[in-house]
Amino acid sequence: MGKEAHVLARFADGDDEGRLQYEPPRLIFHGVRRRVFEGAVLGAVRAEGGELVVADEARFALGERAAPGWARAILQPKSRLDKLGAKAGQRTAIVNLDDPDFAAELARRAPPIADRADLDLIFYGADSAADLAAIGEIAASLAERGALWVVSLKGKHLKVKDTEVMAAASAAHLVDSKVCAFSEVRTALRFTRRR
């Protein structure tokens, strides 16, 4: 998940006010005109006097504390595994999720294990009512403080709504705690046991 703030902005063609969002790898400004910054333009982003400054000299007033954090997030983005909280040594599993790139990525940091008990993280693909109905059974393999990431198609590929995923997880006595862009076509919702 990215960052969002209401800002005053200065551009070569005048000032504007609106919402600034950082949705890696893009910085998007929604004002009188929508403006999108990505690629090389963000490679030289910097914080200067409480402003986030983009290479084309567009300036966004974020404040002395926030501007450096935005610059760091843009210049040193977290990896997908960092956003998902996957750490070396964790017990992980991938269930019903056909994503070879993700499987290879996870295998390098916290290889999935065959023993499905006391798991720290489960990545579960759920794109149907039947998949949602199995959430309770899947979550039974979690360690006491483990997390279940329900990974579903999004946008034009959507098959189940976030609200349906949350309702199914709630019925299994799980609470949602985070959302993460998983890939171009998938989103992930994090669930843990109710305390």
Q: Residue 6 corresponds to which tokens in the numbers above?
A: 């209401």
Residues 113-147: tens digit of each pLDDT: 998 899 999 999 999 999 999 999 999 999 999 99
Domain coordinates in residue numbering, the chain? 3-75, 81-193
Domains 3-75 and 81-193 agree in fold: no
Looking at residue 167, its amino acid is A
pTM of the entire predicted model: 0.75
Please list, residue by residue across 61-95, b when 16 or more beta carbons sit within 10 angstroms of its beta carbon and e when fewer do: bbeeebbbebbeebeeeeebbebbebeeebbbbbb
Strands 119-125 and 92-95: parallel
140-194 pLDDT per residue, tens? 999 999 999 999 999 999 999 999 999 999 999 999 999 998 998 999 999 999 8
User: What class does CATH assign to 81-193?
Assistant: alpha beta
Domain 3-75 grouped into CATH 2.30.29: yes
What is the helix (H) or strand (E) element at residue 74, kind and residue range? Answer: helix 66-75
At 55, the pLDDT band (50, 70, 90 cuts) reads: confident
